[in-house]
Amino acid sequence: MRKYKEKLAGRIFLVLALSSISMLAIITGFILISGAPMLGKIGGLSWDPEYGEFGIIPMIMGTVAVTLGAAAIGVPVGICCAIFLAEFAPAAMRNIFRPAIQLLAGIPSVVYGFWGLIFIVPFIRDRLGGPGLSILAGSVVLAIMILPTIISISEVALLSLPPHYKTGSLALGLTHWQTIYHLMLPAAKSGIIAAVILGIGRAVGETMAVIMVLGNSVSIPESILSPVRTLTTSIGIEMGYAEGVHKEALFATGIVLFVMIMLINSLAQYIVRKK
């Protein structure tokens, strides 16, 4: 009877696993079938569906610029917060900070976008010039949104190290900071890199928040104060009314975005396994 229950449980778990994989396959196949006819026609510099122009290069550049900006701001802050929580923060402070960080992960993206539109955009416009709706505004908002991922995974990577790493280093005469910098960070490098790449993947796929703060201008950016449009915002803005070739072009844009995210995730897996 026990063996029968174990076999039944194993088959149930197999069916559930196959169902999740099959859903991914169905979604992927649907996107490929819908967008493949337009893949060869979306490589230009101009996006004007009314005149049959579907160039997504400016949107690719906008996506890359905003993502790199978010990484440049969010990664150092996230890693430093993880080090503080893992090594320096008192227990009472950790009990406050950790739920707060988890709360950041649960805030809807539209709230981040609204906050950026009310505070970040006017600050940039008044202090740095330009329209305020820009790469910089999007980067700041996305940097805050990816912090929970980077902090949580990096902290776990640091706390998972064997205790004798730290005690042995301190016994040899290294200071606490030297131990962290020269021993613990290199030892936890694979987990930290995975956290960073997963955070970048989150930034690439974000839609609602960046729609509100980027300006949605389909043009090649000239500086971090230029308004841009990303691949996700283009799909989010236009899919509701797109028809025919225009809709196929948006699905082709989705294929490009899908490939970008898959490459980022594959890079994360490769780095973790290599390290």
11-38 pLDDT per residue, tens = 888 888 888 788 888 888 888 888 888 8
Q: What is the predicted pLDDT for the residue at 146? A: 93
The mean predicted confidence, pLDDT, of the chain is 87
Ordered DSSP codes for 154-196: HHHHHHTS-HHHHHHHHHTT--HHHHIIIIIHHHTHHHHHHHH
Mean pLDDT to the nearest integer, 73-77:
94
Q: Report the pLDDT averaged over residues 156-174.
A: 86
Task: Write the pLDDT tens digit of every residue in 193-211.
Answer: 888 888 888 888 888 889 9
Residue-range domains of the chain with CATH: 41-274 (1.10.3720.10)
Q: Is the pLDDT of residue 96 over 70?
A: yes
Q: What is the mean pLDDT of residues 241-252?
A: 88
Distance of alpha carbon 83 from alpha carbon 77, whole angstroms = 10
CA atoms within 13 A on the CB side of 6: 3
* C-alpha torsion angle, residues 227, 231, 237, 240 (rounded to 10): 170
Cross-strand partners of 215: 228
The pLDDT value recorded for residue 266 is: 81
Asked if pLDDT for residue 270 goes beyond 80, the answer is: no
Find tokens 């890199």 and name the residue.
193
Q: Are 212 and 236 in contact (CB under 8 A)?
A: no
Contact 225, 124 (CB under 8 A): yes
pLDDT band at 264 (very low <50, low <70, confident <90, very high): confident
pLDDT in tens, 113-130: 999 999 999 999 999 888
Half-sphere exposure of 187 (CA within 13 A, CB side): 19
Q: What is the pLDDT of residue 275?
A: 59
What is the predicted pLDDT for the residue at 1?
66
Structural contact between residues 26 and 197, judged by C-beta atoms closer than 8 angstroms: no
